[in-house]
Amino acid sequence: MKLVIAHQIEGRTRLRSTARPVDAGALKMFAEQLAQEPGIEMLDMRDTTGSLVIEHPSLDAGELTERVLHAGGAIMQQTHAPDEPRDNLAVVREGMGSVDTMLAQLSAGSLDMRTLAFLLFFSLGITQLLRGQIMMPAFSFLWYAFELAKKNPVGPAEPASGE
């Protein structure tokens, strides 16, 4: 069983399986073996995340590594720093930036994503008002629209080439 240290403080360690998808059966067998090792006071297996939370107040990190090896596991090197923030929305932001640039080019700089979002929320709010849905969702849509309108744009849109 290949594992990485997801989090570790004195006397408590979270190990995470490197296998994806997680083999819950193999993880359970390993957890049962590790729980029998001396110095392991509590072991909580979380098979949905493939992690083991281990309380080991009498063991230091080196001794825990020995117990993991003896139980049939191996602690691998981390591929990234544990506190390194992950930017999960970078691809979405890049796509929105591309759409924003395309809108600015097609409209000669008069339309961007922020303006388009304002128009969308404002239109949805007015539609809901006309349907008699005054408080929700009309109020929410109009609130979002005017919050967008209050914000300063990031920068002036560049005019399309040829101007």
Residue 53 has pLDDT above 90, yes or no: yes
Q: Is the pLDDT of residue 155 over 60?
A: no
pLDDT for position 34? 92
Q: What is the mean pLDDT of residues 90-100?
A: 81
pLDDT of residue 142: 79
CA distances from 80 to 4, 5, 76 (A): 11, 11, 12
Q: Can you give the pLDDT at residue 163?
A: 45
104-115 residue pLDDT tens: 888 888 888 888
Over residues 29-42, the pLDDT tens digits come to: 999 999 999 999 99
> Average pLDDT of the chain?
81
Radius of gyration for the alpha carbons in the chain, expressed in angstroms and rounded: 27
**Residue 72: pLDDT over 60:** yes
Rounded Cα distance between 68 and 135, Å, is 58
Spatial distance between the Cα atoms of 64 and 75, rounded to a whole number of angstroms: 10
